Structure 1
């Protein structure tokens, strides 16, 4: 799923983040570990899915599509020339193509090594893909509209008809984009449900740009308050949430799972910021970085972006590590001995577990252990969770009562 956005001409004032840092007992710190993927200084427009990163690259004088497998550390050249703005989902890569002096959308399947031309003789731009559905913006009728192609049915659908719709993103059956259909200088975010054929206007500020979507959540940047801020809208609750507030340039937001990531210059330079919607933690790059738009792609806890920290644009990857927050439940919490209790981990951002059941038994390192209490008593239970960023403990006094 594509999460990077095209470079745009928007003047943003500054914004700072409303975030509530969680106090935890840690042995390290939350971070974004940074890895350089390319070293030719000719890369642009990255996207990431699972262990694969794709981007456009002009190292040989022409813009071609490349892919890199993080698990095998192998780079593959996908196309030869005049290809731009790739997006990836699963084994399928789509891009904008100008090889025959005509713009079109193409697709390549990594599992079959087969290339497919999706459109012909059209002025297309900014493709995105999710599952069997490809979306893009298209100007072949003299005005920019959003189109969708279903690979399973080989059917093309025109999503918008009112012109000046740009940069679509898709997740499931929902397509989002930013739109200036009235050509009045006001830009807003719209969403379209492919299953119901219903369009919804998400914003009315007239200053909303560059949306991304995951599940029921849409994020975008908005300067309705005179500053560039990151906002989120939940389609299921119809609730809008302002993520950032104080002066700094916040731009290019992307979302995956509970992570929102964007670029921010609150420290006098552009850094990559990440925010956890559940724990309200934030992390950001702190080393020498110079990200540039179109910049950011996100999958799970992995970020890909273009960085000019070494003088020229290369692809970098960052791995987000938030501090873990321990939480658990148990069932039953009271009963006659001997009592078997199922413990369930409800922690966030955890990788390793250590359970203390309070009865002087051996510690358990299982995620969701079952423990047997043989004696009458009240037992205090604790769970310690750890990851690369640190550790945290949750403790419940006299939690298990055995009669």
Structure 2
């Protein structure tokens, strides 16, 4: 066991500024977290919980049953022991909580036994611990606000304190012959470890890897510290007077000197040891002080030296000869892993910081020196630490420091996706889930294992691209079909079927151009054009036709011409015109449908409806507007000649 030495050089001791918080004369049991002080006050004849905001200087009364004791605060939650259910023969009490953000009070569920005394609560994060008494047996219990589950931590245990996943308490049961020793229970391993063997230790507090407690192994109480990382115990004080009620924050240990005299009167003072400088110094002026608690540079305590009990605050300033601002530094383990990933952050700052602000990059923050944080979602997180003391502040940021992985989902983009040969394409991985390996297939026989490769396509074509991504959780592939279009100047080519025949001749033209054209222009040689890729065209007249195809893409234009490619011959026999109509009679206006029934494959028609109206349709419909009897004539024509059909007084229209 080692003993902490003291630096007595007054020139380097910090400056301490004391501020009175209450004037009621009935306040006690203070606790502090960040800028909030909570305490119990009897000013209205009841034990009520009050809080004071150091930043806004606002005091607020917390709703209670008027029987509160031992308040503790963490974040936006205050817990306390509530004695409103006490009976004459039973010391019954419950644990209550007030949420500053929701302004709601909650009774923490107790064990199922009907008569239980619960007290001495402490809180860290979502976990509340307390001591409870049932059937003359003390024990330590814990309630998890996130799971709403209560757990019995240890039998014969008292005065619990919690930090992270570690709960400390002392175990003592004189009736069972049990000595008083400090124990620690680790929630992550579910193992209990005995810290002391002196048989005389009590009142533990914990911060990070350090446990502090008072122990009278040498005939009076002194303050001791046990480091869980080194498994070494250090004696902090060596005094003829009792040193009790320790608390710890960062490198600072706080306690009450419970004896001695000052200017002829009894003195109970608050002292501090700074482990980073090995300084020990007095926090308070003379008087009767008790219930010390610390957060950062601020110490709170009860002072009843004038017969009235009030809450005071002392602010520690490190400014003075030799004081320097801190320099932020930290490490973490692990820095990569599967989700959910629990990471332990370790402050390695120099210059004796007194406050720590962590930003974990996922929207969460911590004000502890060495926090543990759980990343629930996959991602790459940037972490920053800001450290402060009275001389200044400093921030360090580690970009993309924590990598939390799940099975990846492949995704990518490219720029550009089309262009002239040779085409250089930049591929960008947009996969989620933090892949660690990449495999690209560019569709032209080439591959890459870089995250964001650039690839050159040397030949015209349409290419399908795939990306496979992997990490420790698995792999995933995405494929984009016909994603990259590489163009060269096209070369026009085509075929047709049939290329000869009697009129009317329907010809199917097929584009056989190379170089991936995007536009087509056909000239069929009979004055008709088309802009489709593979059109069908009808030649109505005999003749020899020259066909031209012009193709275009982003790289250029090309034309192919086939001279006298299509041969259309005429028919050998003139047509025989004929027709019929319906109805043949009726009142005006009379609509008549004429149907052409000629033989010999006519290619054109000329109708004379007998009322001065004409049509060149094959089978027209005509309306007679006036009464009368009408003669209808049809002339049918093809390459071999024409024929006329006359139907005398064929249509009769009445008024």
TM range (shorter): 0.7 to 0.9
Taking the aligned partners of 1:238 and 1:79, their CA distance within structure 2 comes to 43
Does the 8 A contact of 1:177 with 1:190 survive in 2? Answer: yes
Q: Is the 8 A contact 1:132 1:152 kept in 2?
A: yes
Q: CA deviation at 1:18?
A: 5.0
Displacement of 1:79: 2.5
1:193 aligns with 2:183: no
User: What does residue range 211-360 of structure 1 map to in structure 2 within 5 Å?
Assistant: 211-264=204-257, 265=259, 268=262, 269-285=267-283, 287-292=285-290, 295-322=291-318, 324-326=322-324, 346-348=350-352
Which residue does 1:41 correspond to in 2? 25
CA-CA distance at 1:237 after TM superposition:
1.1
State the Cα deviation string for residues 336-363 of structure 1 (Å, max 9, x = none).
xxxxxxxx98323599xxxxxxxxxxxx
- Aligned partner of 2:107 in structure 1 is 117
**Are 1:149 and 2:127 matched, yes or no?**
no
Question: Is the alpha carbon distance of 1:286 and 1:115 closer, same or farther for their aligned partners in structure 2, counting shifts above 3 Å?
Answer: closer
Equivalent runs, 1:6-17 vs 2, <5 Å = none
CA deviation profile, 1:218-250 (whole Å, cap 9, x unmatched): 000111111221100011111101111232221
Alignment gaps of 5+ in structure 1? 1-16, 330-343, 352-385, 389-403
Out of 73, 87, 104, the residue aligned to residue 88 of structure 1 is: 73
Q: Distance in 1 between matches of 2:80 and 2:11?
A: 46
How far apart, in 1, do the equivalents of 2:239 and 2:67 lie? 41
Question: How far apart, CA to CA, are the structure 2 residues paired with 1:45 and 1:187?
Answer: 24
Shift of 1:19: 2.9
Partner of 2:166: 174
TM-score (norm 1): 0.73
Q: Aligned partners of 1:214 and 1:230: how far apart in 2?
A: 15
Matched with 1:73 is 57
What does residue 393 of structure 1 align with?
none
Of 134, 138, 150, 1:140 maps to 134
Structure 1 residues 42 and 221, CA, compared in 2 at 3 Å: closer, same or farther?
A: same
Q: CA deviation at 1:387?
A: 4.7
Q: Distance in 1 between matches of 2:85 and 2:270?
A: 37
Deviations 1:296-324 (A, max 9, x none): 11111211111112321111111123455
SS across alignment from 1:274:
strand
Partner of 2:7: 21
Unaligned runs of 5+ in 2: 87-91, 328-347, 356-388, 392-655
Shift of the alpha carbon at 1:25? Answer: 6.4
Counterpart of 1:31 (choices 12, 15, 30) is 15
Query: Which stretch has the larger CA shift, 141-150 or 46-55?
Result: 141-150
For residues 49-96 of structure 1, the C-alpha deviation after alignment (integer angstroms, 9 at most, x for no partner) is 000011111111111111111111111111241111111000000111
Aligned length in residues? 320
Deviations along 1:145-184, one digit per CA (max 9) or x if unpaired, are: 00000000001000013x2x11100000000011114633
Question: Which one has the bigger strand percentage?
Answer: 2
TM-score by length of 2: 0.46
Q: Is the 8 A contact 2:296 2:354 kept in 1?
A: no
Corresponding position of 2:589: none
User: Whose Rg is larger?
Assistant: 2
- CA separation in 2, counterparts of 1:200 and 1:350? 30
C-alpha displacement at 1:23, in angstroms?
5.3
Asked if 2 retains the 8 angstrom alpha-carbon contact of 1:259 and 1:301, the reply is: no
1:31 is displaced (CA, Å) by 3.4
SS at match of 2:134: coil
Q: CA–CA distance in 1 between the matches of 2:354 and 2:142?
A: 38
Q: Quick check: 1:325–1:349 contact (8 Å CA) kept in 2?
A: no
Deviation at 1:24, TM superposition (A): 8.7
Q: 1:139 aligns to what SS in structure 2?
A: strand
Partner SS state of residue 187, structure 1:
strand
Is 1:103 the counterpart of 2:93? The answer is: yes
Which residue matches 2:154?
160
Distance 1:309 1:20, change over 3 A: same
* Cα-to-partner distance string for 1:272-302 (whole Å, 9 max, x where unaligned): 111111111122135333113xx11111121
> Conserved in 2, the CA contact under 8 Å of 1:148 and 1:158?
yes
Change (3 A) 1:20 1:85: closer
**Are the counterparts in 2 of residues 274 and 320 from structure 1 also a CA contact under 8 Å?**
no
Q: 1:350 to 1:105 in 2, by over 3 A?
A: closer
Corresponding residue SS for 1:95: strand
More contact order relative to length (CA 8 Å, sep ≥ 6)? 1
2:523 alignment partner in structure 1: none
The CA deviation at 1:133 is 0.2
Distance change >3 Å, CA 76–CA 24, structure 1 → 2: closer
Cα gap change, 1:171 to 1:40, in 2 (>3 Å): same
